Amino acid sequence: MMKIALLLAATAALTIGTASAGEPDESAGESLYAGSCAQCHGPGGKGMASFPSLAGRDSDYIASRLMQYRDGERVGANSGLMIPNAAGLSDDDIANLAAYISSEFQ
């Protein structure tokens, strides 16, 4: 009986942890943005010079583009700059960045 209770408790803890692990962390996205993206896209995401504005882009668009760049796809004039910047991003990094950018720069 005790083993079953422990097994049920462990299963419940893993299920709860898995459910919350899938949500993006906007504060982590903010840190990534400030450290890597703001230099070209600006602190407000409005773009600078030939670097496009990110304002008004939804999270699916941002995530899709970052995945394309991470995979080495050329999808625009700045691909040569974006591919190396996105190469080291994990799926979580991309989700966090997309969540932050889409909610912060509307």
Q: What is the CATH number of domain 25-104?
A: 1.10.760.10
pLDDT at 40 over 70: yes
Output the average pLDDT for the chain.
Answer: 85
**Lowest mean pLDDT, pick from 20-29, 39-48, 65-74:** 20-29
Domain boundaries of the chain, sorted by first residue: 25-104
Q: CA 52, CA 106: separation in Å to the nearest integer?
A: 14
Q: How much is the average pLDDT of 31-51? A: 95
10 Å CB burial of residue 33 (0-12, 13-18, 19+) is buried
Report the pLDDT value the prediction gives residue 1, as an integer from 0 to 100: 52
pTM of the model: 0.78
Q: Are 21 and 96 in contact (CB under 8 A)?
A: no
How would residue 106 be classed by pLDDT, with cut points 50, 70 and 90?
A: confident
